[in-house]
Homo-oligomer: A and B are copies of this chain.
Amino acid sequence: MPQIETVYSPSLIEHYSLGGKTVVVADVLRATTSMCVAFAHGITHIVPLVSIYETILYKPQNYITAGERNGQKVEGFEKGNSPFDFMDHDIKDKPLAITTTNGTQAIHASLAAANIYIGAFVNLQAVANKLLAEGQDTIILCAGWKNKFNLEDTLFAGALAGLLYNSGFEMNDDASIAAEALYHTAQNDLTAFIKKSAHAQRFERMGIDRDIDFCMQLDIYDFVPTYVDGKIVI
């Protein structure tokens, strides 16, 4: 049976073998959630980038550009990293170039994998269905916060690992077992649990805690954004 592994930080990925495996990248607050929102509002494809400089270069090519560092929108970009930034009609039928503190870095850390999928609570079941249909060994990569562990991506990993395990995937990996146990503890009030986290408290200080309520919604989208040859598409 296919195996599940969970990795709590992009800087731990070097200890794992990615060849032939599927990686699900999760940056629940907010990059991977916002990418789903962007597709739901008509973005044609997304180019995820590591640096601000590279991302700016997409402006003259009629891309929508989005930049976030330390939770704040970067000056000179049209969009930040809030899901609400991608609900405008102005993005319809345009491509998006985006760089964020954690999520786009995590995608680049996964390039050795056979498949890279974008996951968040908003498309959790769709991601699980795709993984179950394909039956490949799967690594759930939590984007974390500046290479440190974070709660929200771990809870997503636990929710996804539980769905896969209950449908026959093997889960022998301590990080998946811990994430699944944590999700089991927190699931009855996920938002309250998340609001204990360091990241959520940063959001409250920035007055963007409505983003958390949005990002904690389960299964509002039924597609799985997929990274292929430098672009994320659905």
Residues of A within 8 A of B (CB): 8-9, 11-12, 14-15, 145-151, 154, 172-175, 177-178, 181-182, 184-186, 196-199, 201
Contact = CB atoms under 8 A, between A and B. Distances in A.
A149 B172 contact: no
Contact of A185 (B151, B175, B185): B185
Please tell me how many copies of the chain the complex holds.
Answer: 2
Q: Secondary structure of the A side of the interface?
A: helix
Contacts of A199: 174
B185 A181 contact: yes
Contact of A15 (B146, B196, B201): B146
A68 to B, nearest CB: 19
B173 A198 contact: yes
A11 B9 CA distance: 10
A181 B15 CA distance: 26
Contacts of A147: 12, 15
A151 B177 contact: yes
Contacts of A196: 177
A75 to B, nearest CB: 26
10 contacts: A9-B12, A11-B11, A11-B14, A11-B15, A12-B12, A145-B174, A149-B175, A150-B174, A182-B185, A185-B185
Contact of A149 (B8, B145, B184, B198): B8
A198 B181 contact: no
A144 to B, nearest CB: 9
